[in-house]
Structure 1
Amino acid sequence: MLLFSAGGVAGAVETAPAAQPDPNAAPSTRPAAGPEKATRAAAAGARPVSGKNPTAAPLSRNAAPGGFQRVTSQKVQLKNKVTDADGDKSTLTFEVWTSDAAGNPLKKVSIADNQWGVIVSPYVASGTTVTADVPVGKLALNTNYVFHTSAFDGSLYETSWSPWAKFRIELPVDLTLPTPDYSAPDPTSLNTPPNYYQTKPLGSAGTPLSARSPKSAVEQCSEADADGRQVCFGKSTPVAKGKAPKSGAKAADVAAATAGVEWCNTDFESILATRFTECDVRSVPVYISMDGKIQATAHFMFLRMLQLDGQNSFTEHLTIEPAQQIPPAFREINFVGVEHLCQGSCTPHEPDHSAWRGKTWWVPGEMHSASLTTSYTWDASVAGKTYLYKPDVKIDANILPADGKIRPFMTGYQWSLDYDGGTEDLDQIRCDTTNAGPGTGCVFVNHAPTYIFNAKAYPQAAAHAWLIQKATPKHPGSMADQKPLYYMGDSAQNSRSRNRICPTGWAAANGDASALVDAADALNCDEFAFASSYNSGGMSSAEGGLNPALPPGGGTTPTGAACIGTYAKKHGSMVHLFSLNGTDPTFSEVCGRSAISGMHNQESMGNHFATFMRDMRIMDKDAYWLDTRMDDGGTCKYGIGGGQPVICKLAAE
């Protein structure tokens, strides 16, 4: 530890001179190290000299813009060498100024509580590199500074200052957090928007994660007649929907066809799902062909919505509607029957033809809708069981060309033969009689629900998850990056993972009490990805972990030292999330740990997450997304995820 003056610790007389000195005036004009002694011996001796390459530390791997040295800690160290040709011991005075973008000094900064506002080292041997520790709080973050040094051997000053060294304190992570609103209610995951991602539980057969990949659908055709003519349901293909008025379809009927689910409609081809509703809308061509060449086409919109609305039952809503007016090449298209399929104890209850809303045949020029509701039940009588069902439907049609052929062509359309590729299992239903949720129930197991942080109330935890999700290559829980979290339900493994990332005492040793909410609060270590996930950095590959945080030097046991380390601290009037002083993350890390308020850490999960688990009937290896509800609003300096500092002002949504 260095003293602030040659003779000991100086008294706090004033923090800075009343007027700004000339930054380049001779060091002897402001003799902080003591008066120059104009003796004959001193005059005959050599003057001490500062080094030509002063530096600030600890330095980042990358320089800041403008050639400024980037310091990665609020505990700044200034360094330079001092030599004396006579071999005398010398002191080194460190003087800091703010600067413009080019490094020109603007205003002298007091970095010590003495008359001169400078740090003066003790006497050191010639050739020594001197380090001055600037007290925390003397220098501001994200501000341009320059410093220089002057040497003094007890009698003589060097005649000029050392070259200026440009630096600025830019912590690799500096997130300004919004002020908490502890009255903000926890958001619910029950009404999150649908999406089209098929996201299977970890280890499930087939494509684990996909969204509208290449199609694998097939044509479904009748037998060809003696002339080589046949009719087919073609592969579903987007088509511009007609705008002619529908006949025979009231708005109330259209809404009833999908039980009032507004995002499930025949306006355009789509496949969307939530945890409890799946809506598959297809534009399916019906065409007449001769020897494989299409002669006429009618385009239909087929809609099938599955709704998991009961503890041992679910419902299908089927809608058929022309996408465009039926062309005159068809005399009539008549859908004459449906057949529903399911597996095991799943039983469809077939309605008779009178249950259709709207007539099920169309002639040229018509665009009305027809819809049918079908219920399914499943056996929920045995406790502790889990079942997988994949309901299917066959639709038969008589298709009569308009050219005098009296005998209609009959063909069928089976839903499972015309999936939009990559979503073929989005309609798979998992029903269970376990304790995963309240009572018995069903979910679309290949749809990942979204857990939503209460960022308004607990911004420290939300900001930490936002950082790791945005700035690291694993992007845990990010729907935008298609990186789901996978729930891990083994409590013993949960403890192992957490203890590796957050050993006892880490938060107390690395946190700051200014982040605490009140006297009852205590610092916690917040790990992300969660210890209760297979994405946890604390879970080894041998244990089934996806992203073990392994030490840089090798080894197979994960450690929190390989994560990005941060801590919450009040800075000015706002709480910030800072990277740990002196650390310089690469942003290629797979995890994060942060010393934050225990209240923010625990309340951001706790009962809120338990409710989410039960509402969504989450089981081991189920996928889910995390919405941090944090937004940088375009305030981030440098790049997110590019190895550069993440300096942003966050807002809670």
Structure 2
Amino acid sequence: MLPTPDYSAPDPTSLNTPPNYYQTKPKGSAGTPLSARSRPAVEQCGEADADGRQVCFGTSTPAAKGSSPKSGARTAGAATGVEWCNTDFENILATRFTECDVRSVPVYIRMDGVIQATARFMFLRMLELDGQNSFTEHLTIEPAQQIPTAFREINFVGVNHLCQGSCTPHEPDHSAWQGKTWWVPGEMHSASLTTSYTWDATAAGNAYLYKPDVKIDANILPSDGKIRPFMTGCQWSLDYDGGTEDLDQIRCDTTNAGPGTGCVFVNHAPTYLLNAKAFPQAAAHAWLIQKTTPNHPGSMADRKPLYYMGDSAQNSRSRNRICPTGWAATNGDASALVDAADALNCDEFAFASSYNSGGMSSAEGGMNPALLPGGTTPTGAACIGTYAKKHGTLVHLFSLNGTDPTFTEVCGRSAISGMHNQESMGNHFATFMRDMRIMDKDAYWLDTRMNDGGTCAYGTGGGQPVICKLTAA
């Protein structure tokens, strides 16, 4: 049972979706073809003196997705202007245009390999893609706890930024720091530095990959009267948390993917939000296929992204295989229509404009071809088949007669209102594409904005839902 449509409900915007830590690369992307590609995290040490003593930056605490606060008793948010990017938690999060990496990094003195004293700092680096041919880094350093008295002073003496190709960091001088860059026992202040980058956007029709990096150098003085400081440094790319090492990779382009030129974090998948309140027939169909089929297309919870497929000819082939001409009129019910100008449509999911489409063969690059037993050509007959029909005052989705699903299918097709089918995508999806600068093979998630609220009644054969009452968000 579907909720009553509210045609005045505005389209939700994907620009305000929460950040997440999933590194979701474009289809077929094997890695980062850049010199700054990450390696396993390593400690970074200065040279040992004649007595065998040296200072090191250790590896950061694994950023276990915001699981625990820092050691200090206070709450010290970084001055980034982005609420979710602060030094309260070790974490790494991103949206399509902002990436925030917060690390708890130890600085220690050791003798002949044995650690004698440790001071722990919170390092925050936020990258904002805030210009058409530029982006910005905000770097914040602050103690995570009181600095032990074994240290006389810890002084961060300089930074050096790196980038590739036509990407140029504009190195600020030391006076650009906000706050002192040295600490003695008892001090808990923050120091922040903003650095801008530009890239060459003069040639049209190009896309570039960048992976900005920063080296942070420090002088460490122990408290035992040693006058000459020990020196060491920390390079950002040598200390990534596993599985997120390419979340800060930036793709900048001068194509027609978005308005003007611009950049995105290419390995962050944005989320497309269906307007379930206005178009519940389309949203309910997508919910059904995403929820109950083994491939869960577009589900962030199941880590099953959709991958945009930009070939219009292939789009047509895939759609015609799943939704041949006349299928909706033959299998649909006119009671689902909105008004006299409406007409029945075949709604396919996953979308024909995705590599997840059941209508795209493996030879064509498809991930989930819908094949009947013994068949070699994808067909909608292998999908879950449903149709929308009014029952009482509300519209329901029913299984087509004689085609009750097994819920092992890889796709769905449903005969629904053409207005619901087309308006749930149309200009709304085109806006999403441009806002997020989506290109061929880019990953994205689909939020159907539908919820069963635990109302599903389950059958006895396999435990799959047979009746659900859906609500729209």
8 Å CA contact 2:139, 2:193 repeated in 1? yes
- Superposed, which structure 2 residues align to 1:132-147 within 5 Å? none
Q: Which runs of 5+ in 1 are unaligned?
A: 1-176
Change (3 A) 1:645 1:245: closer
> 1: CA distance between counterparts of 2:33 and 2:456?
33
Instruction: Give yes or no for contact 2:58–2:106 (8 Å, CA) kept in 1.
Output: yes
CA distance in 1, matches of 2:380, 2:71: 66
Note if contact 2:276-2:448 (Cα within 8 Å) is conserved in structure 1.
yes
Taking the aligned partners of 2:122 and 2:285, their CA distance within structure 1 comes to 45
Whether the aligned pair in 2 keeps the contact of 1:312 and 1:377 (CA below 8 Å) is yes
Residue-by-residue CA offset, 1:576-632 (whole Å, 9 max, x unaligned): 011112222110100000000000000000000000000000000000000000001
Shift in CA distance, 245/456, structure 1 to aligned 2, threshold 3 Å: closer
Q: Deviations over 1:443-491 (max 9, x none)?
A: 0000000000000000000000001001001000000000000000000
Cα separation, 1, equivalents of 2:335 and 2:268: 41
The 1:245–1:303 alpha-carbon spacing in structure 2 relative to 1, beyond 3 Å, is closer
Return the alpha-carbon distance in structure 2 between the equivalents of residues 489 and 242 of structure 1.
36
Relative distance call for 1:277 and 1:647 in structure 2 (3 A) is same
Q: CA 1:502–1:609 in 2, change beyond 3 Å: closer, same or farther?
A: same
Gap change, CA 1:444 and 1:538, over 3 Å in 2: same
Q: Give yes or no for contact 1:198–1:211 (8 Å, CA) kept in 2.
A: no
How big is each residue's C-alpha offset from its partner over 1:339-363, in whole Å with a ceiling of 9 and x where there is no partner? 0000011000000000000000000
2:390 aligned residue (552, 567, 570): 570
1:537-574: CA deviation from partner (whole Å, max 9, x where unpaired): 0000000000000112x122100000000000111121
Query: Are the aligned partners of 2:36 and 2:237 in contact in 1 as well (CA < 8 Å)?
Result: no
2:45 paired residue number? 221
Query: Whole-Å Cα distance in 2 between the matches of residues 225 and 608 of structure 1?
Result: 64
Q: Work out the CA distance in 2 between the residues paired with 1:634 and 1:246.
A: 37
1:202 to 7, 27, 41: 27
Does structure 1 conserve the Cα–Cα contact (< 8 Å) formed by 2:70 and 2:104?
no
Q: Quick one: distance in 2 between partners of 1:437 and 1:209?
A: 24
* 1:463 counterpart SS class: helix
Match of 2:161 in 1: 340
Residue deviations 1:343-385 (CA, integer Å, cap 9, x gap): 0110000000000000000001111000000000000011111
Q: What is the number of equivalent residue pairs in this alignment?
A: 472
Q: Structure 1 pair 643/586, CA: closer, same or farther in 2 (3 Å)?
A: farther
Compare 631-640 and 428-437 and name the one that shifted more: 631-640
Q: TM-score, normalised by structure 1?
A: 0.69
Q: Quote how far apart the aligned CAs of 1:206 are.
A: 2.7
Q: TM-score, normalised by structure 2?
A: 0.95
1:408-451 CA deviation, whole Å, 9 max, x = no partner? 11000000000001111100000000000000000000000000
Kept after mapping to 1: 8 A contact 2:63/2:103: no
- Cα deviation, 1:522-544, whole Å, max 9, x if unaligned, reads 00000000000000000000000
State the distance in 2 between where 1:195 and 1:309 align: 19
Q: Closer, same or farther in 2 for the Cα pair 1:451/1:543, shift >3 Å?
A: same
Conserved? CA contact 2:70–2:90, under 8 Å: no
Does the 8 Å CA contact 2:124/2:139 hold for their aligned counterparts? yes
Q: Distance in 2 between matches of 1:563 and 1:392?
A: 47
C-alpha contact (below 8 Å) 1:249/1:358 kept by paired residues: no
Deviation of the 1:242 alpha carbon = 16
What residue is the counterpart of 1:67 in the other structure?
Answer: none
- Rounded to whole Å, the distance in 2 between the matches of 1:318 and 1:372 is 5
Does structure 1 conserve the Cα–Cα contact (< 8 Å) formed by 2:76 and 2:87?
no
Shift of 1:226: 1.3
Cα distance change, pair 382–192 in 1 and its aligned pair in 2 (3 A) = same
CA offset at residue 293 of structure 1?
A: 1.1
How far off its partner does 1:249 sit?
15
Residue 408 of structure 1: aligned partner: 229
Rate the CA distance shift 1:471–1:396 in 2: closer, same or farther, 3 A.
Answer: same
Deviation of the 1:640 alpha carbon = 12
SS in 1 for 2:14: coil
Match of 2:60 in 1: 236
Change (3 A) 1:247 1:332: farther
Asked if the contact 1:212–1:422 (Cα under 8 Å) also holds between the matched residues in 2, the reply is: no
**Structure 1 residues 210, 628: closer, same or farther in 2, change over 3 A?**
farther
After TM superposition, list the pairs within 5 Å mapping 1:317-336 onto structure 2.
317-336=138-157
* 8 Å contact from structure 1 (residues 189, 449) kept in 2: yes
Q: Is the 8 A contact 1:247 1:367 kept in 2?
A: no
Distance 1:496 1:646 in 2: 32
Structure 1 partner of 2:448: 628
SS at match of 2:55: strand
Please report how far the alpha carbon of residue 324 of structure 1 lies from its aligned counterpart in structure 2 after TM superposition: 0.3
Report if aligned partners of 2:160, 2:214 keep a CA contact under 8 Å in 1. Answer: yes
Q: Which runs of 5+ in 2 are unaligned?
A: none
Structure 1 SS opposite 2:16? coil
Q: State whether residues 387 and 430 of structure 1, in contact with CA within 8 Å, keep that contact through their aligned partners in structure 2.
A: yes
Conservation of the 8 A alpha-carbon contact between 1:340 and 1:348: yes
How far did 1:318 drift? 0.2
How do 1:305-454 and structure 2 match up within 5 A? 305-454=126-275
Deviation >4 Å, runs of 4+: 207-213, 238-250, 254-258, 639-643
1:261 aligns with: 82
Cα distance, 1:640–1:368 mapped onto 2, change above 3 Å: farther
The structure-2 alpha-carbon separation of the partners of 1:490 and 1:180, relative to structure 1 and needing over 3 Å to count, comes to same
Quote how far apart the aligned CAs of 1:259 are: 3.5
Query: Does the Cα contact within 8 Å between 2:322 and 2:413 map onto a contact in 1?
Result: yes
Taking structure 1 as reference, are residues 600 and 450 closer, same or farther at Cα in structure 2, changes over 3 Å only?
A: same
SS of the residue 1:283 aligns to: strand
Aligned-pair CA distance for 1:646: 3.2
In 2: Cα distance, 1:221 partner to 1:445 partner: 33
CA RMSD of aligned residues (A): 3.4
CA–CA separation in structure 1 for the residues paired with 2:25 and 2:305: 10
Give the Cα separation in 2 of the matches to 1:194 and 1:341: 26
Q: 1:318–1:640: structure 2 CA closer, same or farther, 3 Å change rule?
A: farther
1-side partners of 2:445 and 2:66: how far apart? 37
Distance 1:450 1:283 in 2: 30
CA displacement at 1:216 relative to structure 2: 2.4
Q: Residues 349 and 623 of structure 1: is their aligned pair in 2 closer, same or farther, counting only changes over 3 Å?
A: same
Question: Which of structures 1 and 2 has the bigger CA Rg?
Answer: 1
The structure, 1 or 2, with the larger RCO (C-alpha pairs under 8 Å, 6+ apart) is 2
Q: Which residue of 2 aligns with 1:282?
A: 103
1:302 aligns with one of 116, 120, 123: 123
- Cα distance, 1:236–1:323 mapped onto 2, change above 3 Å: same
2:259 partner SS? coil
Determine if the alignment matches structure 1 residue 600 to structure 2 residue 420: yes
How many Å separate the matches in 1 of 2:69 and 2:305? 43
| 2:434 aligns with one of 601, 609, 614 | 614
1:637 Cα deviation after fit: 1.5
Sort the Cα spacing of 1:202 and 1:210 in 2 relative to 1 into closer, same or farther, 3 A. Answer: farther
Q: Kindly indicate whether the alpha-carbon contact (under 8 Å) linking 1:586 and 1:643 is maintained by their aligned counterparts in 2.
A: no
- 8 Å CA contact 2:97, 2:265 repeated in 1: yes
Residues 287, 239 of structure 1: alpha-carbon distance in 2 compared, 3 angstrom cutoff: farther
* C-alpha contact (below 8 Å) 1:521/1:598 kept by paired residues: yes
Question: Structure 1 residues 356 and 586, CA, compared in 2 at 3 Å: closer, same or farther?
Answer: same
Structure 2 distance, partners of 1:208, 1:637, is 50
Deviation at 1:290, TM superposition (A): 1.1
Deviation at 1:405, TM superposition (A): 1.4
